[in-house]
Amino acid sequence: MKTFLLIVILILGCALAVFYFLKQRAERMLAAAKADADTAWKQRAADVSSIREEAQAAMVKAQAVCEQKSAEMVVSSERVRNHYEAEARKAIEEVNARLTETLAELEPLRRYASLQGTEEEVRKTLADAIAEATALRREAQSLLEQTHNSAADERRQAQQRAREIRSQAEAVLMQATVEAGRIVTEAEKRAEQIGGDAYIALRDKHTLEQALSAIWNVVEGYGDRYIIPTHSLLDDLAGDFGHTQAGEALKAAREHTRRMVEQKLAATCNYEEPDRRERANRFVVDAFNGRVDAILTRSKHDNYGTLEQEIRDAFSLVNLNGLTFRDARIFPAYLDARLAELKSAVVVQELKLKAREEQRRIQEQMREEEKVRREQERAIKEAQDKEDAIESALVKARLEAEHATAQERAKFDAQIAELSQQLAEAVAVKQRELSMAQLTRAGNVYIISNIGSFGEEVFKIGMTRRRDPMDRVWELSDASVPFDYDVHAMIQTDDAPALERKLHDAFDDLRINKVNGRKEFFRLPLDKIRALTVEKGFNVTFTMAAEAREYRETMALEKMSPADREKYHFRKTDGNGDGEE
């Protein structure tokens, strides 16, 4: 009996060892198959991307050739038409001149009938010349029409070539998409054959994990966990990528998703019957597209990460529900196509936002420049008026000095000397104002803070070209902030925008708003700003401690008792009243 049990235990142990060995082998083969599938998919994606880029470049080149040929034909036709018209005009003018000359010579002899033949000959000559000119004009018109027809033919050929290139590119792209789908499907079938139940269990486990995460996101909400800075999407694009390119990219992405649905490359299932397979695939595709289309309508410049996760969650939930229809599921390639559509839509929104911000910046700059211009005109006018007044007084003093006595002459000489000095100073002031008006980049870079509004070691670094730079500081200290700004430094320079840009670039990592560069607030010690200005060669006095008078008084009032606070306000009101009296 014991021997029998021992044999049974040994058999079970061997079976377990064999099962464990087969399981490990299946997992290794499954991993290898999955790696092969991933590699093939990535290679196919790279090929598709390369083909798309080549097709786009070919279409652009064909369009350029078409436009160049059209322009050349227009220029050539104009040149030919002008040439023949000039020749025709020249021939007509020559004939008219000869006719006029001949008629003038024959006019005295008109009464002689014997010369009638000569007049007829002249008229015949004129008729021949007119006929020749008409023939030349007709030939020019014919050649012009031929040129236009040739240009139109070449334009049609270029457009036809562009359409052929586009069709070839779409065909190659579709073939690549079909091939990619076939590779993925074959890789999955091969993995199922190799791994068997282990692969299916692993795939179902991955699907259920994604579905569980999607359900959790739907129940708990997305919050701020999936926020992605949108400017990182623009960083991947070319520097000249604008609205036109973004719109074309969005249109191409939508066209690609439409072609995938038409070619039945969006979904698959395990039904053998064509009708049931078609219905199951249409069910999951319609469900997924309905969710994605609703998500895309909410696309904005700042919610790419959240919407991307919502689309991925919709993909997981639709595939989970598709398990009841013989594993009807959306292909990952179709998910990537819809995500590319989302990315293009968000980029369009971001470019629109940047365009609006640029327009606001330009309008603000124009308003600022208009204020500077008015201030400069007012200062120049004041300087000119002062100069005119001094000149008038000087002329009057000189006239009076000429008729003054010897005793009064000394007084007038002193007055003339003083007025001459004042005139020289007024002329210098006017010249300085004119020079400032001509220096369009001269201005002041200011370093200001607002402890009560933003806290310690937060500074705004900006520039102004106004005649009195404090006007800009007072303008910033309006009702939009609870306390006035304190000025730590005012740097006068001949190129204020360049100095401002250097300071901004040096402290770029210390910006408070790292998304919008027009917000000029930085969190850093004031010593760093002073050290950099000294390094740039500016000898500027910095006020290191902010006064923050209203803020500090407010903090002191909060610590007072109500009675003390009332006394404080009474004293302040009484003091203001005494001052006004």
Least confident of 170-174, 511-515, 577-581: 577-581
Q: How far is CA 383 from CA 92, 305, 386, 425, 431, in A?
A: 68, 60, 5, 10, 9
Provide the pLDDT for residue 349.
Answer: 84
The predicted-structure confidence for 202-216, as pLDDT tens digits, reads as follows 666 666 666 666 677
**pLDDT band per the 50, 70, 90 thresholds, residue 64:** low
The residue ranking higher by pLDDT, 232 or 350, is: 350
- Higher-pLDDT residue of 468 and 329 is 329
From CA 390, how far away is CA 401, in angstroms rounded? 16
The yes-or-no verdict on residue 581 having pLDDT over 60 is no
- Determine the pLDDT at residue 227: 52
Q: What is the DSSP letter of 442?
A: -
Q: In this model, does residue 127 exceed pLDDT 90? A: no
Residue 198 predicted with pLDDT over 70:
no
Position 273 pLDDT exceeds 60:
yes
The larger pLDDT score, comparing residue 254 to residue 573, is at 254
For 299-309, the pLDDT digits (tens) are 888 888 889 99
Would you state the structure tokens that stand for residue 109, as one six-digit string?
């002899």
Q: Percent of the chain scored above 70 by pLDDT? A: 58
Q: Which residue has the tokens 């059209």?
A: 70
Q: Is the pLDDT of residue 193 over 70?
A: no
For the ranges 143-152, 180-189, 536-545, the one whose mean pLDDT is highest = 536-545
Which pLDDT score is estimated for 48?
59
pLDDT at 231 over 60: no
CB contact burial 344-383 (16+ within 10 A = b; e otherwise): bbbbbbbbeebeeeeeeeeeeeeebeebbeebbeebbeeb
Classify 457 in phi/psi space as left (phi over 0), alpha (psi -120 to 50) or beta.
Answer: left
> How far is residue 483 from each of residues 447, 457, 474, 549, measured CA to CA in Å?
16, 16, 11, 9
Residues in Cβ contact with 249 at an 8 Å cutoff, skipping those fewer than 6 apart: 344, 347
The whole-number pLDDT of residue 9 equals 76
Task: Give domain limits for the chain.
Answer: 2-108+121-186, 197-359, 373-438, 443-547
